[in-house]
Structure 1
């Protein structure tokens, strides 16, 4: 595993195709923003010969982060696939965004991969390893995904590989820190004028061989005598860590008895432990210098991926059912099996149209064949259910902005599929005569509301189509047409997610929108009993309008709605006009009686009235009913009701006090806490919705990225008097 000189053929200028699942490795890169994931992908592509110079493909353009928005914002915002070849194996590198707002892209990468590289920066050791990165590590551990750690930015001033390795052991080792150990130690050259000594090579702890990158091409040599003492302690710890994970129970006894364990045996046991996810090697990597062909540690890392990470054959396939929910036998990674593939990412190309990145779990996907598309829908997020047949377009492998044609995609591989007009992220592709539906992966819930409106009339005409395409690409986004406030609301994961969504609407779909203040669905109700008289009498020649009614209004318990009671005696209001009065009352209630919010939870009793044999009409009594309700409201205390949501906040024990204090400052009532395991606490609280519009952003700041929360509507409650008055003044000013 990287303990030999490697001269593997590259894959420049052609699409990399796999002929069997055992020759595939699907690897996702995980890490906080700024750790160097994209730079590492480009360094690996350069080392394999997939690109002809750092970060550039043969026909020009960046290898990854090629989206125009990524260029402008200088950060990764989407999942990128870079296929390379090493040692006769195809490696699908999945580069994920490190920013929390794009965790949906990260989860898609985890779904498509069979192993993970956690990238941490030695230049960020003062910040440590983020809580969000630890959470992803724990998620991978829960499903047994193999993981390795790559330390970058060793060229930074005061960067220490040893210190960062110890931090990784503390953060990722859990109860067994000796399962997180380095395979190599960096060697530094002569100090530069600023006193910083650059890393020029690595020394293998098992074979004690030196791999020198100072010339731009990796060379191998025996160590000098003065270098051996540097690795003695680390080598002994690594050997003990490997033996502790070995399936050969006699190995430890032999080692403790003083026997020399063969290096080949150690490497074989190491690869097995890595593949089953019980040992997590730490490596170092750095991009190639100008004119160099191989960046520091790239060969060692590629050898680890091909030798230690599992093939798709060793991964369990997600459970499948029929689209109707009937269970089906488990599938295996067999190119000759029934077709079962999943769309892990959807994007749009201005020339090709919709492009779907697909992971094939079973069977073989071929171009120009008809497949069945099944989807879970996620109707609450604006995604409808799918159960249709579609013809597959061309299959390709992405490389920068280019798409290189593939003849097929076998079980275990990833490919881009063109012209699937109905398929969305999370949908299943299967044979049309044997439709299947795969168990979905966990999608983060968007909890930051952004109200938008078209900037102009031409934008208004294009808005609906643009929004439908936007949410089709991103299942972490939810589209809502609020029936109470009449606002179009995009629910996002954070402010960066919002900015990218609005920019995509503008640049990709030609729709300019403006963000406007988000409104919550307020209500009105009567604070006490009141009475009103509605008089609608007009005479203008010919038939006039005549209707008089008297009502009484009294508050009802929450959730009662509008109750209408007829207590007219003696035919003061003719029977045929009583429904007209009720219609007028309900119409006025829907429009509000004080601040323009719907009136709820009152009983309206019709007591008396007057009619005219000629001039009374349905329209007249509707108007009279509305006038009576407004007069009753003018003489009564009208309460504003605000929605209250039940919030569940899962946060590290270290931040419980800060979170509870913050909730109290938002007029929240904590109703309980409970331990959730893993040093986390679940806080349950009732909070006015108007106070948590930005809670998705604020909680992230409070908890250093480790907190999560859920919300659900509970009820409407009276708003404090002073706040209600401000809301009424705001409505009056906008009128």
Structure 2
């Protein structure tokens, strides 16, 4: 029965989120076992879980994509979406969250993991998602629960509300007291906890903890506050109503605990979600979706299967969807529901219709993307959520192992990007490289593995080259004479040009100072064109920038002169002039802003200075207590593995943003290596 005053909930959708290796996938297994959806919980270490069934997840023993499973508990249908914990796959969570009713945040009371927990909680806060904290691995806990709560509160801007206190025996948590029910429970392995009498001596501790919980709830309930002041025991129904309302309104984050691997605390967690998590109607209100209108759904995930084509996993926010319904997406693309399937890990079951609140895989909606909202009918719906992919922080080149796969690679990459829009792919025509960018080394590795396992395309990766430039530091003058006689009309062009450097960023300037018609007017554009063509690759092997080329003198032949001849003459003249004008190499320098926990600031600074970086300053990260921002200038050539070492130095949570700032002169061994690399690439090409 729903708490008093609340609408019937309908199917619920609950995200399972938390830091890397906190036990999310194990908790999902325990939930599925407890609800009877599976006979026995699998183990991540054995590769036997319902979730993480892809070859990439099995290989790395980690979630690399959302895993979805639907189960029923006490008559309520739940769809759980287990989201990856690694920051490199966080964008998958962003697409899932908007349509969820609530989230279970799985964590440990470990100070070292508080920054990672803070990243997860910030995502939930920004998406405005009600959330319950589940402190996992209570069976190995060494801290008292209130000490744990103080540690975890640092990660949350919303007050944490303790719902349970543990029962200890010889320093080990063997059960808990539910502060709302005022009942004691003893854990049983992979089974619901056993209700027991409140142990002798625990009553004072229970009363103190319960009063603290009620006091926090009373901050938002005047009637409850009056009861507490008057020392009147509030009715249990009011306590549960307050818990539900304040979770729904994001005033508090209820805290429960257990041990997912043993199945401890799972039943009480499910009961709390059943009674207190918001309904689909309340989720619609949060998203600003009207209750009336045609069936409407939000795409949480896109999957390209080996044989079944494209599947769009969607939450039905309003109405009911049927197979064959014509739909239109929030970007205007029209499609048709090719089929509806329930999802449990990698297994799907076809159904004729999806009810409001259900999460289903929708087949063959080829033009509708992850993050889109779509509606039945012809009227284009408004988007229920805005999901912007993060800027990439790591890049690698791709090359097919077999040339016959070049055409297939393009189509396979398009599908990988559709499944995870935080990847980016581009072709650098200047360097002749195909580049895949993403959120880290593992993120790119998974994409490469997925190209093979799912689409049969093998690629090898490499380090992306840098777009170096060269310029000159001095003036020079040279003549270029192109004369060739091959029978019939010959070729003749003769020019004298001067070169001089320009300020950084000025590019290329061509000046004509011809007098007396020594070079006819119709050939002057040819001289400029020949010069521009030559400057695509200067004496150091790179495009030449920031110089002026002045046409001073020349001569022509009435019969043999031509556009092509004067272009050739200009190239010859520049080939003579530039080596005499003191050419220098320029490298792109990026403006970089690095975000790290304050205790890792010195390590981040060391990474910057070791990469020829210039530190510009430090500041506190706005709105993030205990975090700092480091501003610096770093050469692009040194940025390649920065994210790898930054994550290593910050327990996986450091990140950065970068943008082009300026070109700077580079000398010494760095310049020599760049020039040698360019010559090797040219000879190989």
Structure-1-length-normalised TM-score: 0.85
1:268 counterpart residue number: 241
Q: Residues of 1 paired with 2:112 and 2:631: CA distance?
A: 30
Counterpart selection for 1:138 from 107, 111, 122: 122
- 1:118 is matched with 105
Distance in structure 1 (CA, Å) of the matches to 2:405 and 2:313: 30
Equivalences for residues 162-311 of structure 1 within 5 A: 162-163=143-144, 166-172=147-153, 179-186=160-167, 201-214=175-188, 217-218=191-192, 220-223=194-197, 227-230=199-202, 232-246=204-218, 247-287=220-260, 295-311=263-279
Change (3 A) 1:234 1:641: farther
Q: Which residue of 2 aligns with 1:359?
A: 315
Shift of 1:617: 2.5
Give aligned pairs, total.
Answer: 672
Task: Give 1:284-433 correspondences, 5 Å limit.
Answer: 284-287=257-260, 295-315=263-283, 330-332=288-290, 334=291, 336-375=292-331, 387-433=332-378
Distance change in 2, residues 1:251/1:542 (3 Å): closer
Relative to structure 1, the CA distance from residue 555 to residue 135 in structure 2 (aligned partners, 3 Å threshold; closer, same or farther) is same
Quote the Cα distance in structure 2 between the aligned partners of 1:665 and 1:258.
Answer: 64
Shifted more, 306-315 versus 539-548: the winner is 539-548
In structure 1, what is the Cα distance between the partners aligned to 2:315 and 2:121? 22
Contact 1:206 1:235 (C-alpha < 8 Å) held by counterparts: no
* Aligned counterpart, 1:8: none
SS of match in other structure, 1:462: helix
SS at match of 2:71: strand
Structure-1 separation of matches of 2:555 and 2:20:
73
Aligned to 1:620: 565
Question: Conserved in 1, the CA contact under 8 Å of 2:591 and 2:660?
Answer: yes
Distance 1:145 1:342, change over 3 A: closer
Secondary structure in structure 1 of the residue aligned to 2:188:
coil
Residue 94 of structure 1 deviates from its aligned partner by 1.1
Distance 1:131 1:206 in 2: 30
Q: Which whole-Å CA distance do the structure 2 matches of 1:598 and 1:694 have between them?
A: 26
Q: Which whole-Å CA distance do the structure 2 matches of 1:579 and 1:260 have between them?
A: 93
Equivalent position to 1:667, from 595, 609, 612: 612
CA distance in 1, matches of 2:528, 2:469: 20
Partner SS for 2:91: helix
Q: 1:168 to 1:408 in 2, by over 3 A?
A: farther
Indicate how the Cα distance of structure 1 residues 729 and 220 shifts in structure 2: closer, same or farther if over 3 A, else same. closer
CA distance in 2, matches of 1:219, 1:263: 21
Partners of 2:147 and 2:567 in 1: how far apart? 77
Rounded to whole Å, the distance in 1 between the matches of 2:78 and 2:335 is 29
Structure 1 SS opposite 2:455? coil
Query: Displacement of 1:596 after TM fit?
Result: 2.3
Confirm or deny: 8 A CA contact 1:46 1:55 kept in the other structure: no
Contact 1:208 1:222 in 2 (8 A): no
Match of residue 643, structure 2, among 666, 684, 696: 696
Deviation at 1:469, TM superposition (A): 1.5
Q: What secondary structure is seen at the aligned counterpart in 1 of 2:201?
A: helix
CA distance in 2, matches of 1:314, 1:134: 26
Q: Displacement of 1:331 after TM fit?
A: 2.3
CA distance in 2, matches of 1:402, 1:732: 53
d(CA) in 1 for partners of 2:158 and 2:483?
87
Asked whether the equivalents of residues 98 and 129 of structure 2 are also in contact (C-alpha less than 8 Å), the reply is no
Runs of 5+ consecutive residues of structure 1 not aligned to the other structure: 3-19, 290-294, 320-329, 376-386
Shift of 1:210: 3.7
2:670 is matched with 723
Name 1:651's counterpart in structure 2: 596
Deviation at 1:491, TM superposition (A): 0.9
Q: Quick check: 2:188–2:194 contact (8 Å CA) kept in 1?
A: no
**CA shift at 1:628, angstroms?**
1.0
Contact 1:96 1:106 in 2 (8 A): yes
Tell me the CA shift for residue 184 of structure 1: 4.4
2:26 maps to 39
**SS of 1:445's equivalent?**
coil
Q: Cα gap change, 1:275/1:239 in structure 2, threshold over 3 Å: closer, same or farther?
A: farther
Report the counterpart of residue 556 of structure 1 in structure 2: 502
Q: Summarize deviations over 1:186-241 as a string: whole Å, max 9, x none.
A: 465xx8xxxx96x65444344443434437543644416xx232353144223332
- The structural deviation recorded for 1:714 is 2.3
Match of 1:71 in 2: 58
Question: Alignment RMSD, CA only?
Answer: 2.9
Distance, in Å, in 1 between the alignment partners of 2:584 and 2:285 is 56
TM-superposed deviation, 1:580 = 1.9
Contact 2:187 2:194 in 1 (8 A): no
Task: Give ranges in structure 2 of 5+ residues lacking alignment.
Answer: none
Conserved? CA contact 1:165–1:282, under 8 Å: no
Contact 1:43–1:54 under 8 Å retained in 2:
yes
Q: What is aligned with 1:7?
A: none
Go from structure 1 to structure 2 and tell me whether the alpha carbon gap of 1:221 and 1:359 turns closer, same or farther (over 3 Å shift). Answer: closer
Mapped to 1, the partners of 2:158 and 2:580 lie a distance apart of 72
Distance 2:524 2:417 in 1: 47
Name the SS of the counterpart of 1:443 in structure 2. Answer: coil
Segment drifting more, 130-139 vs 468-477? 130-139
How many angstroms apart in 2 are the aligned matches of 1:304 and 1:553?
77
Aligned counterparts of 2:114 and 2:168: Cα–Cα separation in 1: 27
Give yes or no for the alignment of 1:474 onto 2:432.
no
The 1:258/1:540 distance shift into structure 2, 3 A limit, reads: closer
Question: What TM-score do you get using the length of structure 2 for normalisation?
Answer: 0.90
Query: 1: distance between equivalents of 2:284 and 2:608?
Result: 42
Q: Which residue of 2 aligns with 1:708?
A: 655
